[in-house]
Amino acid sequence: MMMENLDKNFEVLYHERSLHVEVIRTGKQVLYRVMSADGQMALFLTRAKDAEGYYFWTSIPEGRQQLAEEIGVLIEAYIQSSS
């Protein structure tokens, strides 16, 4: 599976910390790589569909659900505001 980095990186503000978000497209799927400036936070997020068909934010791999939901909302807001 090949991945492609898109030139659509941006920043979001999370609890007064600036997070760098890198958009990565793999096939038809989109991943968001989130990095803090001090390198302390590095995680991958994506939007997934639950069993009822509703979208939710999740970390890849599992284990950072709360963070995924909180930062995912910020990413979504950025994308909506810039589209």
Partner 1 sequence: MCYYNGVRVTRAEFIRLKQLEKAIAKLNFLNKPLLIGFEYTNAPVLKRVAGRQDFEITEMEWGFLPPYLKNREAASKFRHGYKDDSGRFHPPITTLNAVGEELLLPGKMYRDAALHRRCLVLSSGFYEWRHVHPLGKTGKPLKTAVKYPYHIFLPGQEVFFMAGIWQAWTDKDTGETVDTFAIVTTAANKLMEQVHNSKKRMPVILTEDLAYEWLLGDPDEERIKAIATAQYAADKMSAYPIAKDFRSALDPMEKVEYPELAPLI
Q: How far is the CB of 48 from partner 1 (least distance, A)?
A: 6
Site residues (CB under 8 A) for partner 1?
1-3, 5, 24, 26, 29, 31, 38-40, 42-44, 46, 48-51, 56, 58-65, 68
Q: Smaller CB distance to partner 1: residue 16 or 83? A: 16
Q: Looking at beta carbons only, is 39 or 82 nearer to partner 1? A: 39
| 74-82, Cβ contacts within 8 angstroms, sequence gap of 24 or more | 74/12, 74/13, 74/14, 74/19, 75/12, 75/21, 75/32, 75/45, 77/12, 78/10, 78/12, 78/21, 82/10
Nearer to partner 1, 12 or 59 (CB): 59
